Amino acid sequence: MSMAHDRLPGSGVIVWLVDCPEYFDIPGNPYTDEFGNAWENSAARFSLFCRVAVEVSQNRAHLDWKADIAHCNDWQSGLVPALLTLEPHRPSTVFTIHNMAYQGLFPESVYIDLNLPGQLWNPGALEFHELLSFIKGGIACADHITTVSPDYALEIQTADYGYGLEGLLHHRHHELNGIINGIDMGVGILKQTLVSHRILA
C-alpha cells in the first residue's frame, strides 16, 4: 500500500490517494465484480480504507496534517467514526446516509478476522443482532448524521425504511439532519461572469 497526494487544479485543496492494488485494482467497481456480484473481501477492503482514514485524520501518516472533521459516507466508511471514538484527541465526525438498504453486514467471524477492537463489539457500536454492521458504526458513533433530504431523514426513522436501525436513528434524531442534494441556486457562483452556462443538479 502507498499514498500519493496532489492539489485540486485551481485550488489549494490537497487530495491524498491510497493505492492498494491487491484490494482495489480489480475489474468491475469497488462494490461488485464485472458480473454484478458483491466482492467477497469487501469487509477487508473497506476496513483497510477506514483504518487509513483514521491514521490520516490523526496525523499518524507523516503528512503533517490533522483533520478537523471526518465526513464519512455510507457503510463503506462506517468504521471511521467508531474507530475514532477510541482516540483521545479526534476530529469531529459526520456520517452521511444515502441509502439505508446498503448496510455492510458481515458475520461475527469477519469482525474477529479483521482484528477490530474488542470494545467496539457491542450494541452501542458495531454489533447488530450478532452481525458486524459497518453502517451502524457510523450511525451510533458519529457526532452528527446527515441524509440526502429532510424527508429521507424522517423516513429512515420508520420501520419501512430504517432496515432495523430505525430505533437508533430515532434515538439520535437531534443529531440527524436531511440536506437536499444538488446545487443551491441562490449561491452567487452562478451569477459570476466566469460561468458560461447555468449548472443544474
Domain extents for the chain?
Answer: 2-191
Give buried/exposed letters for 81-95 (b at 16+ CB in 10 A, else e): bbbbbeeeebbebbb
Q: Where are the beta strands (DSSP E) in the chain?
A: 2-7, 14-19, 69-73, 92-97, 105-107, 127-128, 131-133, 144-147, 176-178
Q: Is the separation of the CB atoms in 57 and 93 below 8 Å?
A: no
Across the chain, which has 201 residues, the per-10-residue mean pLDDT values are 86 86 85 86 95 93 88 98 97 97 96 97 97 98 97 98 98 96 64 49 41
d(CA 27, CA 34): 6
Q: Which amino acid is at 52?
A: V
Cβ contact 73:96 at 8 Å: yes
> In the prediction, which pLDDT does 201 show?
41
Q: Could you count the other beta carbons within 10 Å of the beta carbon of residue 158?
A: 11
The CATH class given to the 2-191 domain equals alpha beta
pTM of the model: 0.87
The separation between the first and the last C-alpha atoms of the chain, rounded to the nearest angstrom, is 36
